[in-house]
Amino acid sequence: MRSSPGRRRLLAAAGATLVAASTVAACGSESGTQINVYYAPEQNFQSVIDQCNKEAGGKYEIVYRKLPRDADGQREQMVRRLAAGDTDLDILGLDVTWVPEFAEAKWLEEWTGADKTAAEDDVLEGPLSTAMWNDKLYAATKNTNVQLLWYDDTVTPTPPATWREMIDAAKDLKSQGKPYQILFTGAQYEGLVVTYNTLVASYGGKILSDDGKSVVMDKGAIDALRLLKEVASEGITDPSLTNAQEQQVQQAFERPDSDAAFELNWPYVYAAIQDANPDRAKNFKWARYPGIDGPGRVTVGGYNLAVSAYSQHKPESFEAALCLRSAESQRYSAINDGVPPTIESVYDGDDAEFVKAYPMWETIAEELDDAAVRPLTVVYQNLSTITSKVLSPPQDIDPESTAAELRDQLQKALDSKGVLP
Amino acid sequence: MTQVTPTFIPQDAGKAKSRKETARKARWTVVDVVIVAYALIPVLWTLSLSFKTAEAQTDKSFFPSEWTFQNYKDIFTTNEFIRALINSIGIAIIATVIAVVLGTMAAYAIARLDFPGKQLLVGVSLLIAMFPQVSLVSPLFEMERQLGLFDTWPGLILPYITFALPLAIYTLSAFFREIPWELEKAAKMDGATPAQAFRRVIAPLAAPGVFTTAILVFIFCWNDFLFAISLTSTEASRTVPAALSFFTGASQFEAPTGTISAAAVVITIPIIIFVLFFQRRIVAGLTSGAVKG
Amino acid sequence: MSQTAEAPVTAAPPPKKGKPALSEGKKAERRLGLLLCAPAAVVMIAVTGWPIIYSVWLSLQRYDLRFPDQREFVGFSNYVAVLSDGYWWTAFGVTALITVISVVIELVLGMLLALAMHRTLVGRGLVRTVSLIPYGIVTVVAAFSWFYAWNADTGYLADLFGADAPLTDRVASLAIIILAEVWKTTPFMALLLMAGLALVPDDLLKAASMDGATAWQRFTKVMLPVMKPAILVALLFRTLDAFRIFDNIFVLTKGANDTSSVSMQTYNNLIKGLNLGIGSTMSVLIFIAVAIIAFIFVKLFGASAPGNDPGGKR
């Protein structure tokens, strides 16, 4: 690049023009109140927003500010901006495990009065508990999610009801040379913690105390470790278990030459397999997640909508949030985006469209009645990182020493000491 | 091997020469093919993923069994991706130009002149290149928010220039120091002003370094993800790598490999054009014969 | 550069501080030097000055964003905590291993590639452009394409080596990560080395071959010395970046089976754990490690480092 003064000035001028043009273009016209909702990218959420804007009748306009697709990315962006007191955020789309953390950091506005009643009305118990912290309501539930047991009824006409049955069936099928693998998310990430949490809850055990201040790791939790190790080391799972996230689990079952007989995954796999493997889809059935003495207590996932403490339009934000997760909105999202509702009345057997999109709705509703939640604590992220690291790879678990390690490291995390792996 | 003055018949000379020529060309062609294969096979895999239908994504075959343009159509249905492309192009070009200009000036001074604080500047620029950027993002975010630069083009351009300058300075000074002093002295003795000496004599010789730096800085700005995702919030300034993380799959758990692969192919094209255009200027032999003795 | 009769390019030693009389030429040279460097210096310091100082300041504090009331100054106890953590040293070892192996491979491959890009007789533009494509692709996309290729269920490479699930085995997954790194960033080295090759005077090479030097001798005795500054830049910056590897590991294994790197651990503590104190400490430690590497390189390459040439004639 020549550095003669004339050219440099020209370059600088061109640069300045470009910059000015871009900033002008960026300025949108803002007449009236704008409510920014920060939410994960969901294909049809914009339609829900458009509908709520219509119902608002000009009082405010909801604008969809997308966050990255992965949950960690969403949290990172929101935390950075909330820590700086950014007033641009009005409504926050929070994964169910983030509410205690955000609430304790004083980033969320509490729901009170009529808004609170509306947000709690007819909401299933499991999802509702994820929106509360210290007996206060900090968010309105938007959608939930539970895993089911999926199987091929040409391979196993009756699905197993307990893990013991499933393990025995898998070994049996393997010796017969049929598809046999039990697929679940075993990579070193949140999915593994979800699986473990489900096992602990099914055993009736506890990882943390109820107030979330101390580590318990009782007999149920240790039994869950034993079971996890057994499943992972008996040769009845996918060899890529420690690299498997939801999509890998789903694809392993859909493959034309799949060796899988049982899949533990979220309901989205039903729609996915219709396109991916129509032949196997014909025999693709679901059942309740297996437990220990009966059906298991499944861990709920899902998203809640909270109002930022730094929002400049709080009353409108509460109203907008209530609309975005109203029964109609939840029904629309359930049918078009495949996210199960949290409001009980939406689970209607007479609703033909709903049933068509959710043939498994009854099983989901049953599971939600008896669901488990992940430990509700401010330091959940630390918990999750530590647990997924200590439990990886599941084959190497030794129930007693792994439990001791977890007890030690989780307690350090609760006391805000120690270093994360 | 002492040089023997050739005394053969001109005709045979021509034939022998052309046979050697073809043999060398053939050898180089083989080498080229190996290089192209090594560089492109994984890229072809991405390309093939972009042409596969959603169902075929998981079949293990390298080539799509049925070819579809659906993924490419999908990424252009909304304005988002086009807007991201425009942002990327504008920001990357501006940042590259400014970084190369500033870097050239600084590198020339470091390589050719003597002034206090030279070592300090070199050390500080290396320090900036070494410090993990993940820690710098949050303070930078707060600074930009206070200054109103958040979610704007300058808000990305300034960090890009900053983190590209160390590499630019180091690369360019490595080139400036290889240029013989005698050339400048000779130009001055021929009556040129310092600026003219620089423009006519030094700059052309520094061209390989300048264009190499331009390519590397452009690629850095084009592909950066960390700043793009943290210092932008809307389409106003979001660049392509950040936009990729917003693509939706059929559900929360399905990564949209088809559309992401298509988008990746599309955004590699400007890089190919940029490199193709600039690599011609990185030629050899510019210093040969310029100085006797 | 001054216009006076005194040639400022005589290899005069830099004037000592406090020496009273500086020649006009020298003063003008200093002014020019400072003037030329000022814009770059101002930009760099304005953008990163406060963030770096703030980061170092944070590393001396106990500061968890979720427990704002417990914030306090703790001196070096964060450093003690990190340096006595087993996970940190495992990650450090893995990072160092990946860095050393990948940089060595890249240097060799990069040199070969640079020679080819520089001297090929056939399709030069094509080869140069194509060779740079791996470096030009978005890192995350390239990492995903390797992930899908090696994944036992979906990939075309998984069956190639007979291993059951290469990404779940520690050694195999480390090898795959190194392969992904090498494939992606060799072009960076090659480009810098090729530009360095462009500086080698042709007539010097011809003279050497006329004097009877073999290709290897021409390479080591003629090309390499001229290329030393370019090699230093390439090695230095590549090593700095290699030590901070994140994307490839995150996508390929998520750090499972002890393949995590120091950058991933920093991310976990800083962003996931919101522990600004520990996270900043790790950043500073990474910086120190990288600074030591840089120092070694610069010492090894001596006069080839920028700014070491006082401005004398060649």
Q: So what's the pLDDT on residue B46?
A: 85
Query: Measuring CA to CA, which residue among A409, A7, A406, A21 is closest to residue A222?
Result: A406
- Cα of B112 to nearest chain C Cα, Å: 5
Q: What SS3 string covers A55-97?
A: HHCCCEEEEEEECCCCHHHHHHHHHHHHHCCCCCCCEEEEECC
pLDDT tens across C28-40, in order?
A: 888 888 999 999 9
Question: Which of A11-15, A97-101, B74-78 holds the top average pLDDT?
Answer: A97-101
| A residues 277-306 lying closer than 8 A (beta carbon) to B | 277
Look at residue B117 in the predicted model and tell me its pLDDT.
Answer: 86
CB contact under 8 A, B118 and C198: no
| pLDDT value for A185 | 95
Per-residue confidence (pLDDT) for residue B1, from 0 to 100: 46
* C23 has a chain A CB within 8 A of its CB: no
Q: Is a pLDDT exceeding 90 seen at residue A147?
A: yes
pLDDT of amino acid B12:
60
Q: Residue A284: in which H helix or E strand, if any?
A: strand A284-287
- Asked whether residue B286 carries a pLDDT value surpassing 70, the answer given is no
pLDDT of residue C18: 52
- pLDDT at residue A11, as a whole number: 58
Q: C48 and B222: CB-CB below 8 Å? A: no
Which chains have 3 or more CB–CB distances shorter than 8 Å to chain B?
Answer: A, C
Chain A partners (3+ C-beta pairs within 8 A) = B, C
Tell me what pLDDT residue A26 has.
44
Strand order in the sheet with A301-307: A60-66, A33-39, A91-95, A301-307, A140-145
Say what the pTM is. 0.86
Please tell me what DSSP assigns to residue C219. Answer: I
Of the listed ranges A26-35, A365-374, A400-409, C111-120, the least confidently predicted one is A26-35
How close is the nearest chain C Cα to the Cα of B233, in Å?
A: 18
| Topology match between the domains A31-144+302-361 and A148-299+379-414 | yes
Q: What is the pLDDT of residue A25?
A: 44
Domain borders along chain A are 31-144+302-361, 148-299+379-414
Q: What CATH number does domain A148-299+379-414 carry, 3.10.20.310, 3.40.190.170, 3.40.50.2300, 3.40.190.10?
A: 3.40.190.10
Residue B159 has pLDDT above 90, yes or no: yes
- Reported as a single tens digit per residue, the pLDDT across A314-341 is 999 999 999 999 999 999 999 888 899 9
Most confident of A67-71, A96-100, B246-250, C229-233: A96-100
Min Cα distance C55 → chain B (Å) is: 7
Sorted by where each starts, the structural domains of chain C and their CATH numbers stand as 77-300 (1.10.3720.10)
Write out residues 53-82 of B within 8 Å (CB-CB) of A.
Answer: 54-55, 58-59
Choice among A163-167, B100-104, B284-288, C104-108 with the minimum mean pLDDT:
B284-288
What dotted CATH number matches A31-144+302-361?
A: 3.40.190.10
Q: Can you give the pLDDT at residue A5?
A: 59
Distance in Å, alpha carbon of C75 to nearest chain A alpha carbon: 15
State mean pLDDT over A156-172. 94
**Mean pLDDT computed over B185-198:** 76
Cα(C136)–Cα(C184) distance, integer angstroms: 8
Highest mean pLDDT among B119-128, B280-289, C21-30, C140-149: B119-128
DSSP letter (8 states) at residue C14: P
Q: In this model, does residue A143 exceed pLDDT 80?
A: yes
Q: What is the pLDDT of residue C266?
A: 93
Distance from CA of C274 to the nearest CA of A (A): 9
Give B151 or B6, the one with higher predicted confidence.
B151
Average pLDDT over residues A249-276: 90
Nearest residue on chain B to A253, alpha-carbon basis:
B58
ipTM: 0.82
Q: Which of B213, B218, B251 best tests the A interface by mutation, with the highest count of A CBs <10 A?
A: B251
Q: Which residues touch C301 (CB under 8 Å, ≥6 apart)?
A: C228, C229, C231, C232
Model pLDDT, residue A123:
94
Report the C-alpha gap between B202 and B176 in whole angstroms.
8
- pLDDT for residue A29: 43
Closest-CA residue to C255 (of A383, A385, B34, B236): A385
SS3 state of residue C190: helix
Which residue in chain B has the smallest CA separation from C146? B42
What residues of B are in contact with residue A8 (Cβ under 8 Å)? 101
- Interface contact flag, A86 B145, Cβ < 8 Å: yes
Q: Is C291 on the interface with B (CB under 8 A)?
A: yes
Please report which confidence band the pLDDT of residue C126 belongs to, taking 50, 70 and 90 as the band edges.
confident
> Chain B contacts of A42, Cβ < 8 Å?
248, 252
In percent, the amount of chain A with pLDDT more than 90 equals 75
Q: Which of B170, B223, B282 sits opposite C233 (nearest CB)?
A: B170
Mean pLDDT value across chain B: 84
Distance of CA C208 to the CA centre of its chain: 33
Q: What is the average pLDDT score of chain C?
A: 84
Give whole-number Cα distances, C1 to A20, A235, B141, C45, in Å.
Answer: 36, 76, 41, 26
In chain A, residues 336-355 whose CB comes closer than 8 Å to chain B: 337-339
- Residue C211 one-letter amino acid: D
* pLDDT over 90 (residue A51): yes
**Is it the case that residue A52 has pLDDT exceeding 90?**
yes
pLDDT value of position C176: 92
**Least confident residue range of A68-72, B71-75, B286-290, C182-186:** B286-290
| Structure letter (DSSP) for residue A109 | P
Find the mean pLDDT for residues A269-286: 90
**Residue B200 touches chain A, beta carbons under 8 Å:** no
More confident residue, C161 or A155: A155
pLDDT at C153 over 60: yes
The closest CB to that of A65, out of B195, B230, B233, belongs to B233
pLDDT above 90 (res C56): yes
Contact B130 C290 (CB under 8 A): yes
Express each pLDDT in B226-259 by its tens digit: 899 899 988 899 999 888 888 887 777 888 888 8
pLDDT digits (tens, 9 = 90+) for B201-235: 777 777 888 888 999 999 999 989 889 989 998 88
* pLDDT reported for residue B14: 67
Find chain A residues with C-beta within 8 A of B236's C-beta: 22, 25-26
Phi, psi of B150 (to 5 degrees): -65, 135
Phi/psi for A94 (5° steps) reads -105, 135
pLDDT of the residue at A16:
58
Whether the per-residue pLDDT at B43 is higher than 50: the answer is: yes
Q: Give residues 46 to 65 of C whose Cβ lies within 8 Å of B.
A: 47-48, 50-52, 54-55
- Count of A-C CB contacts under 8 Å: 97
**Confidence check: pLDDT of C3 > 70:** no
Separation CA C203–CA C192 (nearest Å): 22
The answer to whether the CB of B152 falls within 8 A of the CB of A22 is: yes
* A404 contact B CB<8A: no
Cβ-defined contact of A393 to C257 (cutoff 8 Å): yes
Quote the pLDDT of residue C96: 95
Q: How far is C47 from chain A (nearest CA, A)?
A: 18
What is the predicted pLDDT for the residue at C1? 40
